[in-house]
Structure 1
Amino acid sequence: MIYYTTNAIESVNMSLRKLTKNRGSFPSDEALLKLFYLALRNISQKWTMPIRDWKAALTRFTIQFEERIPKA
């Protein structure tokens, strides 16, 4: 399994900043938390998508790091 933690965190932060940037202020902390909850629910749907161009990357890794990748 592959984890792109830095990119994933930055992507979430960017999405949340984009939501709050144009709003100005919120009537309460609860309103902000509800907005973030809904946004994170929508953002997390993208996480189930397959990694783009993974087959080409795996082929390259297999060639370059042959001794590190277990044979299937």
Structure 2
Amino acid sequence: LDRAREQGLALTGEKGLLGQLTKMVLESALEGEITDHLGYEKHERSGSASNARNGSRTKTVLTDIGPVPIEVPRDRDGSFQPQIVRKHQRRLTGVDELVLSLSARGLTHGDISAHLA
């Protein structure tokens, strides 16, 4: 937080520290969800599975701190149904407080993603 203040980075608002942290946590959680869905880690061979990762799409979700652009992973056959940010969902409430609370306790964004999952 002190480093962010020194660099003139705001806590909230567009490109604010809390928005960036929320983006990292949501994207990590979505990557975890698609890994569970497909059954293999990113950059691993899928083996005999016919479904595979197929890039991502940009989506902007509205949070209590403002709009947060995120990258939502896709799969080839379109069967991936994300849970943390569902399809067609545009508004997230309560995630900001949870992310801020958990990061204040010293958890990494990977730990927070695992907790959300």
TM-score (norm 2): 0.30
Higher helix share: 1
Which protein has the bigger strand share?
2
Tell which has more relative contact order, 1 or 2 (C-alpha 8 A, sep 6+): 2
TM-score by length of 1: 0.43
